[in-house]
Amino acid sequence: MLQSRVQIGPRKRPPLHFLPLGGCGEIGMNLSLYGYGDEWIAIDCGMMLRQDLPDSPLQVPDVGCLTPLGIQPRALILTHGHEDHIGAAAWLWPHWGCPIYATPLAAGLLRAKFLERGLAVDAIRIVAPGDALESGPFALRYLPLTHSIPESCALLLTTPHHRVLHTGDWKLDPEPLIGSPVDQRLYASLAPVDLLVGDSTNATLPGWSRSEGDVARALERAIGACTGRVIVSCFASNLARVLAVGRAAARCGRRISLMGRSMERMVRTARDLGYLEDLPQLVPVRDLGYLPAEEVLIIATGSQGEPRAALSRLAQGRHPDLELQAGDTVIFSAKAIPGNERLIERLQLALKRLDVGVLEETRHPELHASGHPAQDELRTFYGWTKPRRLLPVHGERRHQEAHQRLAESCGIDAPLAPDNGDLIRVERTTLSVER
């Protein structure tokens, strides 16, 4: 009896898919999904930080396409604790009900949000920078990177046929104040990676971003030159900046107070985790009236002109515990998020009408440092990791296109600048948008 021989070819590899639903063509609201076969994971789940959008104060990614595509994330992985990376989770996670993985600080901040909305926190699972985990066909490793909040991490995603580095937000800061500088050997050990999905925010800017250590020294000089009360407004999550301001206040003979619920919550959560141990003792806002003006420094929320934030209430004379006076100084230690410029300008004009001095980032760039990499940092990092291909995310279109050009100048293939909603098929040698 004759037997036929059937030659069976190599089994076809399942493609990797990348689906951004936020953070492409815009600053903020980051949400990315990766699929391999029928399994999907989500990375980050942020809200928009712009204050100029009409009607709704809450802007979260549109996930309406997931159900028609049959996508149900089996895990939500958070890279760090900024609002544009975790702020929408309390609204969108109930649709998924999957485990959430986060570093201790991000997990603590997310727990507070879940409890406010009456959500169970059992799904939130803590991982430490450097840890590895698995979710279906994905193996993931948290890799520490410096940013403007502690415990920021890139993610190395591995499937049976792909190695992807998803950077999250990062910079190369030699003096980050909190935490250690980036470990070059760690990232060089990953080279080459098949695909890098990377932060584009400062891809238009030459050189290097400023170090937090340099900002700390500039703040101390500025605060030392002030005579009345000083109010420093920065993002509550920028704990290195909060620490720098606190240290500068102590050296200039000033007592510090926090103003704004998000600032108080962030500092409390950070202290519970062992951060900010050398932040000077805080004075309750209600007790500031007993101190001479030259001994007062307030760290306040509201750098983006948010109408309900502490700084706007001070500018409008609506704060219940404090009234600004001529000779006081407000320092804006934060950059304007695109879209917030008009509200910030209105806030600063209101402060000037009170004869309050205003030091802001455009005229005093030394008082702020971005948490994102400029062009020389990108080149240096890519020299370590040697990505074969790049997808530029986290930025407006001009940032993404500048990132493409920079990558290509480094010999990295960067054929696409994704839009939110693009379903990108990652093959061995090609990237393509599925229609």
| Residue pLDDT, tens place only, 84-117 | 999 999 999 999 999 999 999 999 999 999 999 9
Positions of E strands within 145-293: 153-159, 162-166, 195-199, 230-233, 255-259
What is the average pLDDT across 68-76? 96
**DSSP H/E element including 431:** strand 431-434
- The count of other CB atoms within 10 Å of the CB of residue 298 is 28
- Residues 204 and 176: beta-carbon distance below 8 Å: no
Residues 158-174: tens digit of each pLDDT: 999 999 999 999 999 99
Rounded to whole angstroms, the Cα distance separating 245 from 233 reads: 10
Q: Indicate whether 241 pLDDT > 90.
A: yes
Percent of the residues in the chain that have a pLDDT greater than 70, as a whole number: 95
Q: What integer pLDDT is reported at residue 12 of this predicted model?
A: 67
Rounded to whole angstroms, the Cα distance separating 92 from 223 reads: 42
Q: What integer pLDDT is reported at residue 338 of this predicted model?
A: 78
pLDDT-derived band at 190 (thresholds 50, 70, 90) equals very high
Q: What integer pLDDT is reported at residue 3 of this predicted model?
A: 41
Rounded to whole angstroms, the Cα distance separating 417 from 390 reads: 9
Q: Indicate whether 378 pLDDT > 80.
A: yes
- Residues 44 and 32: beta-carbon distance below 8 Å: yes
Q: What integer pLDDT is reported at residue 49 of this predicted model?
A: 63
Which residue has 């049976």 as its token pair? 160
Q: What integer pLDDT is reported at residue 11 of this predicted model?
A: 57
**DSSP H/E element including 43:** strand 39-43
Percent of the residues in the chain that have a pLDDT greater than 90, as a whole number: 88
Q: Indicate whether 77 pLDDT > 70.
A: yes
pLDDT-derived band at 6 (thresholds 50, 70, 90) equals very low
Q: What integer pLDDT is reported at residue 308 of this predicted model?
A: 87
Q: Indicate whether 48 pLDDT > 90.
A: no
Q: What is the pTM of this model?
A: 0.92
Residues 314-369: tens digit of each pLDDT: 999 999 999 999 999 999 999 888 788 999 999 999 999 999 999 998 899 999 99
Q: Indicate whether 55 pLDDT > 70.
A: no
pLDDT-derived band at 58 (thresholds 50, 70, 90) equals low
What is the average pLDDT across 50-69? 74
List the one residue out of 261, 294, 293, 296 whose CA is nearest residue 280.
Answer: 296
